[in-house]
Structure 1
Amino acid sequence: MINMDIQFQMLFDQMKLEMHKQTIELRETITKNIMDTIEEKLTPIIEENVKLMQKVGKLEKEVEYLKREKKSNNIIIFGLEEKEKSTSELLRSIQKEFKDEINVTIEESEVNRLYRLGKSKVANKPRPVLCTFLNRWKRDEIMKNKKSLKKVYVTEDYTKDVLEKRKALLPKLQEEKKKGNIAYLKYDQLVVKEPNTNNDKRKRELSTSPDTASRIHTKKQQILSSIKANRKNNIDVIRSRSNSLTLS
């Protein structure tokens, strides 16, 4: 009787193990089927989402290009005294400033838009001026000579995103300059170049080394003397040949 109870218990335990194993296998199978189904449903959605993200990225680039192109004929003038009472007077002030400082003539017909930025004048601080030209070349002419301007400062008309990027790059710009590197902002990028010390060192060595200069001069004199000697020998050979032919 006891043996039968033990056998029944062992059989029962074995059945429990089998049921537990089947339950796990069934759960894994169901989970796998569900995941496969979800993956099958999600795959085309994910692919479509990737395509949409690529299109959005492309559109963002096109929008940024259009914004930049729209501002490509613009300049912003800082520091121009704000005393004009009309747009015509403002134009005359700009014409005089650019003519006197960088010898650039601006005709009224070359200007498309001209106005102060900002709603109201700040005490003792003139508002910047936005100037839009009809032709890009006039804007480029001013930008090329802007470093010669003394009373005013001229910049490109950057978009809001570009201005934020430039502002974020300013600490890095100052850091690179402190290191002695040549650093400047080009649109929304920081350009850093190491100073070309090798050429400067070479120039200093050449200019402060009289022995080197003397050796170069001596070498030149030797080469010139050799050339003259060879030329003289060649002439003598030709003359001797000519005399021998005449005598014969």
Structure 2
Amino acid sequence: MEEQFQLLFDKMKIEIQKQSNDLKESLTKNIMDRMDEKLNPMIEENRILKQKISNLENEIEYLKKEKRSNNIVIYGLEESEKSTSELFQNVKDIFKRDLDLSVEQNEMNRLYRLGKRNENKHRPVLFSFTNGWKKDEIVKNKKSLKGIFIAEDYSKEVIEKRKALLPQLLEEKKKGNITFMKYDKLIVKGPNTDKRKRELSSSPQSSSTNNPKKQQTISSIKTNRTNAFDLMRTRSNSLSGGSSHNKL
């Protein structure tokens, strides 16, 4: 009898434990479902906010880039001016002398020295143009400038990126690839074919040496041309001789 009670008790215990586990799982699932219902809108809202922040960051970066797009930085210009007007006149004279390019005061947006005054070296000059084409024309012909050096106006972050890319740029150029930097990106356009074309092209003398058939054809044409003139001369002589014989 006691054994039967013990078996019944054990079965009841197992059943209660099972029901307890089922109830626990059900409660956990209900709680998680309710949490998901509340969290999902928050997660979606967070995703939208992140996207908006990313878009705003891109817009800010674009505006910063556009703000600097019409700027140049002039290095090596002697710091002898006493006013912005004198500084502008010095820069204007250099552009006219070296580039034959006239820059008027109404084309200048801003012009000033960068950094704190230093007696040991000349501070760089930032020149901001009101239009982009004049700035592009100066940058395109900057190698003709004497005594000064011109660079694009980049942010510190972009300058650091360009410095980091410089070793790779030099390596690609050693390989013979057309390589240049565009803003903060390295552009590689494959091998430079101009050098190979120059190596493959040869002088007329070497080409005639390398093409004996062509040389032989040219010689044959010259020989035939000479024979034709000789034949015409012979016929002319024979005709003149015949006419004089008839007169006699």
Alignment of 1:97-246 (within 5 A): 97-121=94-118, 123=120, 125-197=121-193, 200-201=195-196, 203-207=198-202, 210=208, 213=211
What is the match of residue 225 of structure 1? none
Letter paired with 1:43: N
CA contact (8 A) 1:82 1:126 kept: yes
Q: CA deviation at 1:217?
A: 7.5
Letter paired with 1:79: G
* Count of residues paired in the alignment: 217
> SS of the counterpart of 2:191?
coil
Residues 176-185 or 202-211, more deviating: 202-211
Residues 163-172 or 37-46, more deviating: 163-172
CA contact (8 A) 2:176 2:191 kept: yes
* Cα distance change, pair 174–29 in 1 and its aligned pair in 2 (3 A): farther
Gaps of 5+ in 2: 220-248
Offset from partner CA, 1:123-150 (integer Å, 9 cap, x none): 2x21110011222221111111112224
Letter paired with 1:101: D
Q: CA deviation at 1:51?
A: 1.9
* Cα distance change, pair 181–200 in 1 and its aligned pair in 2 (3 A): closer
For normalisation by structure 2, the TM-score amounts to: 0.74
Rg (Cα) greater in structure? 2
Distance 1:203 1:173 in 2: 24
Computed over aligned residues only, the root mean square deviation of the Cα atoms, in angstroms, reads: 2.9
What is the match of residue 70 of structure 2? 73
What is the match of residue 236 of structure 1? none
- Verify: 1:93 aligned to 2:66, yes or no: no
CA contact (8 A) 1:80 1:126 kept: yes
Gaps of 5+ in 1: 222-248
Distance 1:108 1:101 in 2: 19
Distance 1:196 1:219 in 2: 36
For normalisation by structure 1, the TM-score amounts to: 0.74
Distance 2:51 2:133 in 1: 35
CA contact (8 A) 1:74 1:133 kept: yes
Letter paired with 2:199: R
